[in-house]
Amino acid sequence: MASIVSRAGWGARKPRTAPTRLARTKGVKVHYTGGHVDPRIVDDHARCIELMMQIQIHHMNGNGWSDFAYNLAACPHGRLFEGRGFEVMSAANGSGLNTDHYAILGLVGNSGFTQPNSALLNALRDGIDLLRKRGAGPEIKGHRDGYSTDCPGGPLYAWVRAGAPRPDPLEDDVSADDLWHKARIKRKKGTLEEREVSPASFLQELEMEQDAQSVQLDRIEKMLGQLLAK
């Protein structure tokens, strides 16, 4: 389980107002920064702390919010940061949507450091599991689900759509890009088939597979009904 950097540990400002309590949600929504993240963040944890402080300043001074928007944040060093914390409403999912899901931020952007590494993905998963223990339901969604935005970016959204899997613990590092390809390994007649896919085609194929599985289940139900009728 990822260690948690407290608000005092990363130098968080005090919120302007007390957070709104929220004991239960449908699940968790995953976010990214939406801006440039210096690639050197991977080798320097101090840059994670600096980025957290910058985001809070933007949220409070730029957006006029009462505090850092997310419940938790995850960094490429495998650590979690306490944001608004547990059992409180976030301000990250969009107007009218914050009561449905808690929010967790991955410290990746749309330029610079864009591919979450295995440490960040594991920390995100740890954060989701912790939020589930404190009131979150089973849903894991991206910010773009139900809101017009690119967040959480292609790599993280593909990871979310793949079920937010943990990277292989036997591998030194696995990016979300690696997980696109690993998710396409299928068993066919006892053999493994692997194909290269792009993020967009991966998401499209996931949707097609879900439709195909639904059709297959309908066929199985009809067959069972025919057998029982005999």
pLDDT for the residue 89: 98
pLDDT for the residue 193: 43
pLDDT for the residue 206: 53
Task: Name which of 205, 116, 210, 103 is nearest 167 in CA terms.
Answer: 116
Name the β-bridge partners of 88. 21
Q: Hey, what amino acid is at 76?
A: P
Rounded CA-CA distance 92/78 in Å is 22
Give 48's contacts (C-beta < 8 A, 6+ positions apart): 41, 75, 76, 77, 79, 81, 107
Question: What rounded mean pLDDT belongs to the chain?
Answer: 85
> Is the predicted pLDDT of residue 180 greater than 50, yes or no?
no
Residue 150 DSSP SS3: coil
Q: What is the pTM of this model?
A: 0.76
CB 91 within 8 A of CB 98: yes
pLDDT for the residue 205: 57
Task: Quickly count: other Cβ atoms within 10 Å of residue 56's Cβ.
Answer: 22
Residue 220 DSSP SS3: helix
Task: Identify the weakest region by mean pLDDT among 29-38, 52-61, 159-168, 171-180.
Answer: 171-180
Taking residues 193-211, report their average pLDDT.
51
Name the β-bridge partners of 106. 32, 74
Q: pLDDT (tens digit, 9 = 90+) per residue, 114-158?
A: 999 999 999 999 999 999 999 999 999 999 999 999 999 999 999
Phi, psi of 202, deg, nearest 5: -60, -45
More confidently predicted of 63 and 195: 63
Taking residues 58-87, report their average pLDDT.
97
Classify each residue of 158-195 as buried b or exposed e, where b means 16 or more C-beta atoms within 10 Å of its C-beta: bbbbbebeebeeeeeebbbbbbbeebbeeeeeeeeeee
